[in-house]
A and B are shown apart, each in its own frame.
Chain A
Amino acid sequence: MMELLDYSTLRVIWWLLLGALLIGFALADGFDLGVASLLTLAGRTDSQRRQIINTVGPVWEGNQVWLILGGGAIFAAWPALYALSFSGFYLAMFLILLALIIRPVAFKFRSKRPEAAWRNRWDWALVFSGLVPALICGVAMGNVLQGVPFYYDTSLRPFYTGNLIGLLNPFALLAGLVSVAMLITHGALYLTLKTDALVQARAQRYAVIGGWVSALLFSSAGVWLALGLEGYQVSELALNGPSNPLYKSVSLVQGGLMDNYASYPVLWVVPALGVSGAAVAAILSALGRFGMAFVANKLSITGIIASVGVSLFPVILPSSTNPNHSLTVFDSSSSHVTLFIMLVCTIIFLPMILAYTAWVYKVLWGRVSEADVKANTTQWY
Chain B
Amino acid sequence: MMIDQTLVELSRLQFAATAMYHFLFVPLTLGLSFMLVIMESVYVMSGKTVWRDMTQFWGKLFGINFAMGVATGIVMEFQFGMNWSYYSHYVGDVFGAPLAIEGLMAFFLEATFVGLFFFGWDKLSKVKHLMVTFLVAIGSNFSALWILVANGWMQHPVGSEFNLETMRMEVTDFAAVLTNPVAQAKFVHTVSAGYVTGAIFVLAISAYFLLRNRHTEWAKRSFVVASAFGLASSLSVVVLGDESGYTLTENQKMKLAAIEGMWETEPAPAGFTLIGLPDREARETHYELKIPYALGLIATRSVTQQVEGINDIVAEGRHRIELGVEARKALLLLQQDRANELARLTFEALKDNLGYAMLLDTVAQDPLAPTEIELDQAADLLIPNITPLFWSFRLMVALGFFFILATGYAFYLSSRRQITQNPRFLRVLMYSWPLPWVACELGWFVAEYGRQPWIIDGVLPTANAVSGLEIWQVAATLLGFTVLYGVLIYIEVRLMLKTIAQGPDSTQLVAPPASMQGAQPALGK
Are A83 and B89 interface neighbours, CB within 8 A?
Answer: yes
Closest to B74 in A: A100
Which of B82, B97, B163, B508 lies in contact with A93, CB distance below 8 A?
B82
Contacts of B102 in A (CB 8 A): 72
Residue interface bits A33-62, CB-to-B below 8 A is 1, else 0 = 000000000000000000000000111111
Are B174 and A337 interface neighbours, CB within 8 A?
Answer: yes
Are B118 and A379 interface neighbours, CB within 8 A?
Answer: yes
Q: Does A79 contact B (CB under 8 A)?
A: yes
Which of A57, A80, A90 lies in contact with B467, CB distance below 8 A?
A90
Are A109 and B103 interface neighbours, CB within 8 A?
Answer: no
Q: Does B190 contact A (CB under 8 A)?
A: no
Are B508 and A79 interface neighbours, CB within 8 A?
Answer: no
> In the docked arrangement, what's the CA distance between A341 and B120, Å?
36
Are B64 and A108 interface neighbours, CB within 8 A?
Answer: yes
Are A243 and B166 interface neighbours, CB within 8 A?
Answer: yes
Q: Does A346 contact B (CB under 8 A)?
A: yes
> In the docked arrangement, what's the CA distance between A7 and B521, Å?
64
Within A212-252, the residues touching B (CB, 8 Å) are 242-244
Interface of B is mostly: helix
Number of A interface residues in the complex (CB < 8 A): 75
Are A346 and B78 interface neighbours, CB within 8 A?
Answer: no
> In the docked arrangement, what's the CA distance between A60 and B192, Å?
29
Are A244 and B82 interface neighbours, CB within 8 A?
Answer: no
Q: How far is the CB of B166 from chain A (nearest CB, A)?
A: 5
Within A65-103, the residues touching B (CB, 8 Å) are 65, 67-69, 71-77, 79-80, 82-87, 90-91, 93-94, 96-98, 100-103
Residue interface bits B83-97, CB-to-A below 8 A is 1, else 0 = 101101101111111
Are B112 and A82 interface neighbours, CB within 8 A?
Answer: no
Contacts of B501 in A (CB 8 A): none
Closest to A101 in B: B71
Q: Does B512 contact A (CB under 8 A)?
A: no
Q: Does B304 contact A (CB under 8 A)?
A: no
Closest to A85 in B: B81
Which of B103, B116, B163, B174 lies in contact with A58, CB distance below 8 A?
B116
Q: Does A294 contact B (CB under 8 A)?
A: no
Q: Does A335 contact B (CB under 8 A)?
A: yes
Which of A59, A112, A113, A341 lies in contact with B97, CB distance below 8 A?
A341
Interface of A is mostly: helix
Q: Does B168 contact A (CB under 8 A)?
A: yes
Q: Does B108 contact A (CB under 8 A)?
A: yes
> In the docked arrangement, what's the CA distance between A98 and B82, Å?
14
Closest to A94 in B: B477
- When A82-B96, A98-B484, A360-B112 are in contact, do A158 and B468 touch as well, CB less than 8 Å? yes
Are A363 and B120 interface neighbours, CB within 8 A?
Answer: yes
Are A87 and B108 interface neighbours, CB within 8 A?
Answer: no
Q: How far is the CB of B409 from chain A (nearest CB, A)?
A: 35
Are A75 and B100 interface neighbours, CB within 8 A?
Answer: yes
Q: Does A105 contact B (CB under 8 A)?
A: yes
> In the docked arrangement, what's the CA distance between A33 and B86, Å?
32
Q: How far is the CB of B20 from chain A (nearest CB, A)?
A: 16
Are A112 and B495 interface neighbours, CB within 8 A?
Answer: yes
Within A343-381, the residues touching B (CB, 8 Å) are 345-346, 349-350, 353, 356-357, 360, 363-364, 377-380
Are B74 and A58 interface neighbours, CB within 8 A?
Answer: no
Are A71 and B89 interface neighbours, CB within 8 A?
Answer: no
Residue interface bits B165-200, CB-to-A below 8 A is 1, else 0 = 111101110100000000000000000000000000
Q: Which of A149-157, A194-202, A306-314 contacts B (4 or more CB under 8 A)?
A: A149-157
Q: How far is the CB of B341 from chain A (nearest CB, A)?
A: 19
- When A69-B103, A71-B78 are in contact, do A377 and B508 touch as well, CB less than 8 Å? yes
Are A64 and B70 interface neighbours, CB within 8 A?
Answer: yes
Are B85 and A68 interface neighbours, CB within 8 A?
Answer: no
Are B63 and A108 interface neighbours, CB within 8 A?
Answer: yes
Are B124 and A112 interface neighbours, CB within 8 A?
Answer: no
Within B51-88, the residues touching A (CB, 8 Å) are 56, 60, 63-64, 67-68, 70-75, 77-78, 80-83, 85-86, 88
Are B92 and A104 interface neighbours, CB within 8 A?
Answer: no
Which of B96, B335, B467, B476 lies in contact with A334, CB distance below 8 A?
B96
Contacts of B101 in A (CB 8 A): 72, 342, 345, 349
Are B100 and A72 interface neighbours, CB within 8 A?
Answer: yes
Contacts of B469 in A (CB 8 A): 87, 90
Contacts of A341 in B (CB 8 A): 97, 171, 174
Within A138-164, the residues touching B (CB, 8 Å) are 153-160
Closest to A107 in B: B67
Contacts of B171 in A (CB 8 A): 335, 337-338, 341
Contacts of A69 in B (CB 8 A): 100, 103-104, 107-108
Q: How far is the CB of A242 from chain B (nearest CB, A)?
A: 4
Contacts of B108 in A (CB 8 A): 62, 65, 69, 349, 353, 357
- When A62-B115, A335-B171, A360-B113 are in contact, do A72 and B488 touch as well, CB less than 8 Å? no
Which of A113, A153, A350 lies in contact with B104, CB distance below 8 A?
A350
Which of A93, A244, A357 lies in contact with B78, CB distance below 8 A?
A93
Contacts of A109 in B (CB 8 A): 64, 491-492, 495
Which of A61, A86, A98 lies in contact with B115, CB distance below 8 A?
A61
Contacts of B484 in A (CB 8 A): 98, 101-102
Interface pairs (5), CB distance under 8 Å: A61-B115, A69-B108, A341-B97, A363-B116, A378-B505
Please provide the 8 A-B residue pairs with the shortest distance between their CB atoms, ordered closest to farther.
A79-B92, A86-B81, A76-B96, A62-B112, A58-B115, A75-B96, A242-B165, A69-B103
Q: Which residue numbers of A lie inside 8 Å of B, CB to CB?
A: 57-62, 64-65, 67-69, 71-77, 79-80, 82-87, 90-91, 93-94, 96-98, 100-105, 107-109, 112-113, 153-160, 242-244, 334-335, 337-338, 341-342, 345-346, 349-350, 353, 356-357, 360, 363-364, 377-380
